[in-house]
Amino acid sequence: MMTLAACIAGAGAQTIKGGWTICTRDLRLRETLIERANERELTLMNSYGIRSVMPMDEVLFVVKTAPDQPAIPGEIVGVPSPEPSPVRLITLTDGQTVRGSIIESDLPEYLGINLIAGMKMHGDAHVSLERVLRIVDQDVRDPHPPAELLDDLVVLRNGDRVSGFVESIGPVVRVALDDTAIELESARIQQIHIANESAPLDGIYLRFADREVIRVLGFRYSAQSPIEISVDPVSLGMLETGHTEWRLNSGSLDSLWVSAPGQRVVSLASIEPEDIEPVGGRAWVPTPIVLNENATHEALRSIDFRSPARVSYPLPEGASRFACSIEVPIEEWTDCVLRVITVGSGRERQIFEQRMRLDASTASINTSLPQGVDSIIIEIDPGEHGPIQDRVIMHHPRVLAGE
């Protein structure tokens, strides 16, 4: 019988083998096992084998605790060899990322793709270049275009960059420059970034170990069987010859999230502080340290405050809820007062205060935020004994933002 912890408590929580972390729409985090799932609900199991059902409309995201290794292209029957036509990751404006090799397109304004999912080929697709955000080699782990992409950008394997307007993509990529156009062999290209705007759609998105992200019309998951997904053929530009019912290894599913208009969960650890002030008579304070930067979701990162400080973070527009768990390391001597303060329309409002010390070493926050809040302040004030080794770790500080 498999066991699980019912809820994440903080840094000391044990990782569950084969477990998942669920974030609900009220920002609760729960680590559990998922027995079955579909587009309507999750079936969960506790340590006594008792099942419970969570409706999908209560879910923000679900991530696997320990993701599996991705499939190796060379193991997939029919996949082109790395040269001259490698497997690419193609990210679309609606948030989907598909895998495949670039093929010739009859229309220059469309990208032709031979789709791959899991260990199989799934037919051809043709997607308008206006719906393409980027195309990168599958082994490019962290493709970062400029923050503001004014022109399309092509990055070659030798590191050279070409900025302009991508007119067509196929075995040869045509890029228009100011007063001329150049053609580049696709085999020489590592990345293509298109200056289109992201526009995610409502619905359920599944992310797999090889970095595919698919918006599904329906799906069936169980730990013991292949996962079955029904893809949206229109959004993928699939031809009539393509297969829209896909079966993948259930172990390859890394995460899912439910996309809703303008609603998202944001980690405080992913936001750069706008102000850091020392308190308690200190002249200087170290910058807070982000922990578990490689977490399976940004909302599962943590922040280590190593000295009395007043740290201000700007919040995304429409911030409506804040949650986290807090601890002071028991191996260090800490006695301080932690306050959480919101700022909106120039007015400060305290939403949390607790004295943190050895006999009160943990706390949790899950609260709505005042309307119009635009920043949040984490204030660590020395206790009665002064700023001696005061240190606070804020686990999974997360903000719900949206319209």
pLDDT of residue 65: 76
Residue pair 342/349 in contact (Cβ under 8 Å)? The answer is yes
- Give the least confident one: 34-38, 67-71, 335-339: 67-71
- Cα separation, 177 vs 155, in Å, equals 15
pLDDT of residue 263: 81
18 pLDDT tier (thresholds 50, 70, 90): low
pLDDT of residue 66: 66
pLDDT of residue 241: 62
- Could you tell me which residues come within 8 angstroms of residue 237 by beta carbon, excluding any fewer than 6 positions away? 110, 113, 125, 126, 127, 128, 131
Average pLDDT rounded to a whole number, residues 34-42: 95
Three-state secondary structure call for residue 104: coil
Q: Residue 76: pLDDT above 80?
A: no
Considering the chain, what percentage of its residues have pLDDT values greater than 70?
Answer: 86
13 pLDDT tier (thresholds 50, 70, 90): very low
Q: Residue 72: pLDDT above 50?
A: no
pLDDT digits (tens, 9 = 90+) for 185-195: 999 999 999 99
Across all residues in the chain, what is the average pLDDT?
A: 86
pLDDT digits (tens, 9 = 90+) for 106-124: 899 999 999 988 777 888 8
- Could you tell me which residues come within 8 angstroms of residue 272 by beta carbon, excluding any fewer than 6 positions away? none
Residue pair 249/66 in contact (Cβ under 8 Å)? The answer is no
Q: Residue 82: pLDDT above 70?
A: no
Burial group, residue 217, by CB count within 10 angstroms (0-12, 13-18, 19+)? middle
Q: Residue 83: pLDDT above 60?
A: no
Q: Residue 143: pLDDT above 80?
A: no
pLDDT of residue 81: 42
pLDDT digits (tens, 9 = 90+) for 150-187: 899 999 999 899 999 999 999 999 999 988 999 999 99
pLDDT of residue 29: 95
- Cα separation, 109 vs 194, in Å, equals 13
- Could you tell me which residues come within 8 angstroms of residue 144 by beta carbon, excluding any fewer than 6 positions away? none
Q: Residue 384: pLDDT above 80?
A: no
pLDDT digits (tens, 9 = 90+) for 86-104: 789 999 999 999 999 999 9
pLDDT of residue 27: 96
Average pLDDT rounded to a whole number, residues 375-381: 95
pLDDT digits (tens, 9 = 90+) for 208-231: 988 899 999 999 999 888 999 999
pLDDT of residue 141: 74
Burial group, residue 352, by CB count within 10 angstroms (0-12, 13-18, 19+)? middle
Q: How long is the chain?
A: 403
242 pLDDT tier (thresholds 50, 70, 90): low
74 pLDDT tier (thresholds 50, 70, 90): very low
Amino acid in position 352: F
